[in-house]
Structure 1
Amino acid sequence: MMKVLASIIGILIPSVGVSCIADPSSRIAMNPEKYLEQYEVVFFGVITSNENVSNDHQIVTFDVEKMFKGESNDYYIVDNKLSGTCSGYFDNAGTKYYVFANKTEIPNQVRLSHFSSFVSESMAEEFRMVLE
Structure 2
Amino acid sequence: MNGLRVATIASLTPLEELDREPFLVDTRGQQAMCARWAAEHGHTVTRQLLFYGLRPDHRGLWADVDDGQVELFVAASERVLARALTSVGEFVAECERRGVALETAGMDEPVYDAAMKADVHRRLSMPTAGYDGC
Instruction: Output the TM-score relative to the length of structure 1.
Output: 0.27
Larger Rg: 1
